[in-house]
Structure 1
């Protein structure tokens, strides 16, 4: 029995007009008892394959579950036999892009398991996946949808958790292909612009192993090098020739990704170790699935208790103190800075500027090689331009 006693159903799909071609994904989350739709989402993916789009729909659906009730018992239903069999571990994953996406999905599933829930995968015929298919066509048409419906939080139904009402409100964001010009910034003057880039993957990432600042410090693997190069191109495109600095953490994967980004914009990177990943102490190098199986209670404590630290490691509070100090230095420098770092430091910054409590911070996604951008105005106001863009 999951911690909340609740069941959720994820229906996900993706498509590509050309394979590869114009791609998009769609997904929704239903209440398992009533069948009521709690969330629905869609987004364009540019030129991608059907399989990339299908995995992207799965990742979006699991991410929505974390926002609704991470302790629920989740059944994922998809008409992609490939994704279902690969995620169930019955089929091998040969393509590097698929392996990376599968790792992202498994990481989200591990977070659900750590919170007391579970995730299972079921193949369904295409005709039973029409709602997700329709949303994926919205994505292919260039529409981005992130719609949380009334009652989506875990406060609905029996077994509700005490903080379940956090999403029991209407959140309805539909972005058309040609949005209206953005309104002026929240403050007067010129903002400091910060782009947070997560490093590319390593063998540890692909093996779902914890890798903090006190660990073995692996380098990027082949897939990670490709992600670093792509992050460099994306950063250069975003900056459009505007001057910027590049700062990286001291860990190899961030320095190597930062080197690719710096080369793409024609600068020399600098290192600030306060942007390093959290030190996981005696758990550095540990397999996350093994921890979920053997030390679920301690793993949950690491995720939700900001003062909890493993022997020889640091707590989230200690991590956040050094990351926020590094963030404040970047803000004080002004101009535009690209910071190449890690998932938890990115989460720390977003939690700091948005006031997100620690036990909710895992709802923020930051995929390998992704970009997140902020503007900090002279009056102290902060605008998050976008997150987790790959």
Structure 2
């Protein structure tokens, strides 16, 4: 089984590091863009996919231009929608509510936000369309959802992965669509 190589890259830093940035469109910091571009240079792929949020889209535009690769913007690769918590510093949120969310992101989603299974469903739909080697510029939550969908890991297991800004997670997707194998993680 050879499979399809898929690289998932978390966007670089923004000017709002340390906040719950869900669907808020925080622009990328130039250092974050440079990190993503540098990390993508050795990747061999002709297709770049990205979240529509500028912190992922802008570095993806630079990478696609440098690689002369097709760029596809897809909002399904967005971060989890944190609803009323969007842009909040986790330290400022009610401890009980945040603890409940981390323990059960489906039963206790952020107020007005998205539950974990909804994030997994939209990422799963996006993954279902990948039929050739690709690089996806996205967000930590979407990367964890992809791990959950592809590798059968639950939310507690995927949150054990440290995915700092610019992290690159490489997977081999099985050709029969039955799952994937993690082949690399550069943080």
User: What is the TM-score normalised by the length of structure 1?
Assistant: 0.45
Native 8 Å contact 1:305 1:359 kept in 2: no
2:3 matches 1:198: no
| TM-aligned CA deviation for residue 255 of structure 1 | 0.3
2:143 matches 1:346: yes
| TM-aligned CA deviation for residue 381 of structure 1 | 4.8
User: Where does residue 181 of structure 2 map in the other structure?
Assistant: 383
| TM-aligned CA deviation for residue 341 of structure 1 | 0.4
2:68 matches 1:258: no
Q: How many residues align?
A: 185
2:162 matches 1:365: yes
Native 8 Å contact 1:278 1:344 kept in 2: yes
Counterpart CA distance in 1 for 2:181 and 2:109 is 31
User: Where does residue 283 of structure 1 map in the other structure?
Assistant: 85
- Aligned-CA RMSD value: 1.6
Counterpart CA distance in 2 for 1:304 and 1:271 is 32
Cα deviation, 1:130-186, whole Å, max 9, x if unaligned, reads xxxxxxxxxxxxxxxxxxxxxxxxxxxxxxxxxxxxxxxxxxxxxxxxxxxxxxxxx
Structure number with bigger Rg: 1
Aligned partner (choices 23, 28, 33) of residue 220 of structure 1? 28
Cα deviation, 1:234-281, whole Å, max 9, x if unaligned, reads xxx132xxx420010110111012112212321131111000001100
Q: Secondary structure at the match of 1:269?
A: strand
Does the C-alpha gap of structure 1 residues 218 and 371 become closer, same or farther in structure 2, counting only changes over 3 Å? same
2:81 matches 1:273: no
Cα deviation, 1:41-65, whole Å, max 9, x if unaligned, reads xxxxxxxxxxxxxxxxxxxxxxxxx
Aligned partner (choices 122, 126, 131) of residue 322 of structure 1? 122
Structure 2: unaligned runs, 5 residues or longer? none
| TM-aligned CA deviation for residue 335 of structure 1 | 1.8
User: Where does residue 95 of structure 1 map in the other structure?
Assistant: none
Larger relative CO (CA 8 A, sep 6+): 1 or 2?
Answer: 2
Q: Secondary structure at the match of 1:238?
A: coil
**Which has the larger share of strand?**
1
